[in-house]
Each structure stands twice: as structure tokens, then as C-alpha cells.
A and B are shown apart, each in its own frame.
Chain A
């Protein structure tokens, strides 16, 4: 047997990913933008020049200046500091919801694909959930447990679950059709081991790609819920809530609303662009 030198596909997946991203300038800018935003969010307690909650009635609705980079809001709070803390909360909301919804959705999708008997029941349930707008869910949850961060997370998770379940089911069905799954069954693996060791690892890249694309939407949705007053309650800084608070002064101090809005915009935009390029790189169906 002649053994040919190992194939180039042996490089570390992380490095391969970065190299692939590096070839596209738009992705590079998005990655830089996203990194900055994430750093701001993560380091908010150390970087923020002011306490985001401290009120200073002598400096109300000031425009951007050297003292306050982004100006101050209706209660004289520093918008720069509040934006950093708001970003932190917004991102955290999105991630938690994606994590919870992604996990439950993956579980449902895999079960539906693996046990055809549960398929109809699970997927019809998902269809029912999918037929409610997420905003309506937020309203319902807020009505039951009261407005707040928990309500937003529940609403976002519930509305993410059926989408993930569909994607996971499709990916799992494709994997289940492969002979290696039959081969695992033929050596006598338990269903659970088969799912965990054979099906899940081969679906995971498809699901992760979908989740990164969904993250942007979830963040936008979370901010919208907060904007409507269903989410985080003032004075806690959250980008959606902050944007809502500035509406009253929009005509003479637009920056109070615009700054958190633009932050959300940049965050979601760069996430979407990165999610797209990630999909191009990772999705096996798009790879040649």
C-alpha cells in the first residue's frame, strides 16, 4: 500500500476559519467591529467613565462633549457609560436566549428525526409556536410573570426553539440516511450513544451556523421588546430601553435615542455579515 502524504484538511479548524475570514475585507471589518463592541461590553465596569445609574440633574440632555463622549440623557446620566452597560445586557440577553432555545430546539429536532413516531407531534407543536409572533409571546410572558429580563429571555428562547428544531431535524435526517449511522446501529450502540456520538457531531456545524445568524435577530427582537417596555425596566441600562426613553426629547436631543439605536444597528449588522461568511465557510452543503 502506498500511503500518500496526509491531506491538507488536517489544519486546526480555528486557524482555517480565521484564514478564510481574512480573505474577505467586509468580514474583516465586521470582525473588528464586533470585537470592539464585545470588548466594550465585557469591560464596561472597568472602562465606563461614569456610574451608569448616577443621576446628575445639572447636566441634563447635554450633547456630546469631551466630558461626556455621547452626551447625557434626560436624567443627566452619561450615555457612553450607559451604552456600554446596555450593550452588555443586550448581548447577554441574546446569547442566553440563543443558548436555551438552541439546546431545546436541537434536542427536539434530533428526537423528531430519530424517532419517527414522535416526529408529527413534536414538529406540529413547533409549527404552532412558530405561528405566534415573538412580540406576542413577549406580551403574554410579560403579562404572566411581569415585565423584566426573564420575560425577554423566555420569549426569545421560545421563539428560537422551533426554528432550531426544524434546522436540526433536517440536518439529522440527512445524517441518519448515511450508512455510518446504520453501521453504529449494527455494532449494537444504544440509541442515546448513537445520537450523541454519531448524529449530533455531524449536525452541529449546520446548527451553529444557523444560531449565529439567529443571534442578530434575537438581539434585535430583545431590544424591540425592551423598547416596548416589556423587557428591562428603567433605570437598568439596556439599549432598547434607552432608545425608548429618548423618544420624548427626540426633536431637541436626538442623540439620546440615536446612539443606542446605532449601536444595536452596528452590532446586528456585523453579526449578520459574520454569520453569512461563517455559513459559507462551514456549511457542508455550500462547500464544494
Chain B
């Protein structure tokens, strides 16, 4: 594994974020906590992409916001280029924001409606003094060109652009201060398929050109497979499986990853009904099941799964799984490895 020797741009260590829910009540009772993030760790190398995958409520968006300290973490550390983001003072943090940027999901709410496209892109440059007032317009025009917008559109307002074009503006704004890391929080989920492909290609081209690293948050496994080098699968605030793209897509170990992969509808009518359909809903995050959090929906759950929380175990130097039975499970019922699952599913009605 060559990339493991490179210096990581981003190091995340045991990151935890708890939200207090409900009012405290008159006598301090009744307050509950949601563990939106519970001990998340990973690193991202220069010019690489890690994808954070999971369904709604798994904590992936909270992770993105906490990495940038748009939310204050409860504990843990985030280091960007070796500097601790979590402990930075307000003024140090403001300066550090030059190095880390974010692109949001909904291009209709992520751009200030009363600023022109040029103002939106120029604002971070002027703030961090990357460009002087004189040259800023040139720089904006160059960025417009880079993200595939025409210079004559510079003085238009966001509402005059289509969804895809707005996402290009948001990307230009993120790139304006030459960050080393961009958190992409579902950047293409709100777009049509054909536009989605344009934006994904743009993001990969920009990475090749500028060497920026991405934390790519998404629920779409197809997009993730296309864009990422490494993937972390989250379930109820925890990483349940993490590995390189090849490991995760060809040899998925965790039953949840396997179910997620098999649940994606394929554009191929002959694929029908090869799915693992998970029973039930995501449990209430206020009271996750004891032991393994996935145990309430897992087809293979045994007694130990309901009692003891599995820790991330190394299946290979870069592949980690949090399941008591990953060795017995094989990968996706042996679809790729030819090794059949040795653990029978205990499906009960």
C-alpha cells in the first residue's frame, strides 16, 4: 500500500459528537443524548478521496460539519496538515478555514441569494487576502473558467442559474482560497442524473489538476465507487466497515455493507431479486440497540451481538470491519470470492 506512507492531509481520531435532546425539565431530568458520532477515526492523503457512506441518520453529515468545526466536537481530534482543528482558538480557526472548505447538498440554499456569483466567489479571496481588490475580478474569471462557467455570467444572481450551475458556483467559492481539503456533503444528490455526471467529472478533474483532497459524503454507492479511493460505511454514528474501494466493493465483510450494496437498484432487469432485503427500520438514535448497533436488523445476529459491541478489526492492513462474525460471513455470500457464507442466516418471521 503506497499511499499509507504519504503524509495525511487530514487525520481524524476518535471523533465524538453528542447532541443533548429535549429540554432539561424543571429539575434537570429528562435530558437524553444522541450519539451522532461515536469514536470515528480515519485519515485522508493528499489528492485522495475518502467517501463516507450511510443512510439518513447515520451521522455522516454531522461528521462533515464537525470536521470543519461548524459543530463543536464532544471529544476527539481533527488535525489538518498536522494542526489541531479541534483545539484551535477562534482566530486561529478563522485563519485555518482557508485550508478547508465545504460544498453543500442543496445548491438552492447554499448560496447567499442577494450576492452575485462574482461576489460569492470573491468573498473568501478578499477575506483571506488571497487576492487584492484590483486583481480579484481576474481571479474570479479564472475560477469561473475552471469550473465551466462563462465569464459573462459573473454578475448574475444565484436564482438566475440552474441547479448544476449553482453547484459549480459553490465549488468555485470553495476553491477560491486554494484549500487542501474540501468536504463535499452530498454535492450531487439534488441534481438530475446527466447533470450529476457533469459535476462528478468536474470534481475528479479538479482533484487531478489541483491535488485537493475530498471527504465525500454520500448515500449513493454508485457515485462513491466512481469517485473515491477509500470508503467508510457508517451506521448509527459508528464506522462499521472501512477499506479501499476494491476491498469494500469486491469483498464487503460487514452484513450492513453487503445489504447496502445489494439493495442498490441496478440498471439491468436481469439483476432482479438477488437482493438482501433488510427487515425493519433504522432504530431510534436515542436508544440504539445494546451490543452491536446493527443487531436489530442483521440476519446473522447471535446472542453475543446483542450483548457486546464489536470493535473495528483488521481484515487487511487497510480493511477494517466491526462485526463479531466477519470471518465466518465471507463476502456477500461468496459472490466475488467464491467462498460461501458459513454462517447461516437466522431469518425468522
A–B direct touch in complex (beta carbons closer than 8 A)? yes
A187 in contact with B177 given A178-B109, A180-B109 (CB within 8 Å): yes
CA A1 to CA B113, docked complex, whole Å: 22
Of residues A7, A184, A186, A198, which shows the largest number of chain B Cβ atoms within 10 Å of its Cβ?
A: A186
A187 in contact with B114 given A6-B160, A180-B109 (CB within 8 Å): no
CA A187 to CA B128, docked complex, whole Å: 9
Bitwise, A169-208 to B at CB < 8 A (1) or not (0) is 0000000001110111111111000000110011000000
Within B74-116, the residues touching A (CB, 8 Å) are 93-98, 100-102, 104-106, 109-114
Within B158-175, the residues touching A (CB, 8 Å) are 159-160, 165, 170, 173
Which of chain B's residues have a CB closer than 8 A to the CB of A197? 112
Q: Please tell me if the beta carbons of B102 and A188 are within 8 angstroms of each other in the complex.
A: no
Q: Please tell me if the beta carbons of B127 and A187 are within 8 angstroms of each other in the complex.
A: yes
Which of chain A's residues have a CB closer than 8 A to the CB of B114? 201-202
A11 at the interface (CB under 8 A from B): no
B2 at the interface (CB under 8 A from A): no
Q: Please tell me if the beta carbons of A186 and B127 are within 8 angstroms of each other in the complex.
A: no
Q: Please tell me if the beta carbons of B150 and A1 are within 8 angstroms of each other in the complex.
A: yes
Set A9, A178, A188, A189: member contacting B98, Cβ < 8 A: A188
CA A218 to CA B110, docked complex, whole Å: 38
A66 at the interface (CB under 8 A from B): no
A3 at the interface (CB under 8 A from B): yes
Which of chain A's residues have a CB closer than 8 A to the CB of B165? 1
CA A202 to CA B114, docked complex, whole Å: 8
Q: Please tell me if the beta carbons of B97 and A187 are within 8 angstroms of each other in the complex.
A: yes
Set B95, B101, B106, B148: member contacting A1, Cβ < 8 A: B148
Q: Please tell me if the beta carbons of B173 and A188 are within 8 angstroms of each other in the complex.
A: no
- B107 nearest CB neighbor, chain A only: A179
- A187 nearest CB neighbor, chain B only: B124
CA A6 to CA B101, docked complex, whole Å: 30
Which of chain A's residues have a CB closer than 8 A to the CB of B153? 3
Of residues A1, A9, A188, which shows the largest number of chain B Cβ atoms within 10 Å of its Cβ?
A: A188
CA A197 to CA B102, docked complex, whole Å: 19
B152 at the interface (CB under 8 A from A): yes
B70 at the interface (CB under 8 A from A): yes
Closest chain B CB from A72 CB (angstroms): 54
Q: Please tell me if the beta carbons of A183 and B156 are within 8 angstroms of each other in the complex.
A: no
Which of chain A's residues have a CB closer than 8 A to the CB of B112? 180, 183-184, 197-198, 202
A182 in contact with B94 given A187-B123, A188-B124, A202-B114 (CB within 8 Å): no
Q: Please tell me if the beta carbons of B109 and A190 are within 8 angstroms of each other in the complex.
A: no
Closest chain B CB from A196 CB (angstroms): 12
Q: Please tell me if the beta carbons of A180 and B127 are within 8 angstroms of each other in the complex.
A: no
- B94 nearest CB neighbor, chain A only: A188
A9 in contact with B159 given A186-B102, A188-B94 (CB within 8 Å): yes
- B106 nearest CB neighbor, chain A only: A179
CA A178 to CA B111, docked complex, whole Å: 9
Q: Please tell me if the beta carbons of A190 and B148 are within 8 angstroms of each other in the complex.
A: no
Q: Please tell me if the beta carbons of B70 and A188 are within 8 angstroms of each other in the complex.
A: no
- A191 nearest CB neighbor, chain B only: B90
CA A7 to CA B68, docked complex, whole Å: 35
Closest chain B CB from A132 CB (angstroms): 26
A183 in contact with B159 given A1-B150, A188-B127 (CB within 8 Å): no
CA A188 to CA B177, docked complex, whole Å: 11
B65 at the interface (CB under 8 A from A): yes
Which of chain B's residues have a CB closer than 8 A to the CB of A180? 109-113
Closest chain B CB from A225 CB (angstroms): 39
- A178 nearest CB neighbor, chain B only: B109
A182 in contact with B104 given A188-B94, A202-B114 (CB within 8 Å): yes
A183 in contact with B150 given A6-B160, A188-B128 (CB within 8 Å): no
A185 in contact with B70 given A7-B159, A179-B104 (CB within 8 Å): yes
Q: Please tell me if the beta carbons of B149 and A1 are within 8 angstroms of each other in the complex.
A: yes
Of residues A6, A180, A197, A201, which shows the largest number of chain B Cβ atoms within 10 Å of its Cβ?
A: A180
Closest chain B CB from A185 CB (angstroms): 6
Within A1-37, the residues touching B (CB, 8 Å) are 1, 3, 6-7, 9-10
- B185 nearest CB neighbor, chain A only: A179
Closest chain B CB from A83 CB (angstroms): 42
Bitwise, B279-321 to A at CB < 8 A (1) or not (0) is 0000000000000000000000000000000000000000000
- Closest 7 CB pairs between A and B? A188-B97, A179-B110, A187-B124, A188-B94, A179-B104, A180-B112, A186-B102
- Can you identify 20 A-B contacts, CB atoms within 8 angstroms? A1-B148, A1-B150, A3-B150, A6-B156, A6-B160, A179-B104, A179-B106, A179-B109, A182-B65, A182-B104, A183-B173, A184-B112, A186-B100, A187-B97, A187-B124, A188-B94, A188-B124, A188-B128, A189-B94, A202-B114
B residues whose Cβ falls under 8 Å from a Cβ of A: 65, 68, 70, 93-98, 100-102, 104-106, 109-114, 123-124, 127-128, 148-150, 152-153, 156, 159-160, 165, 170, 173, 177
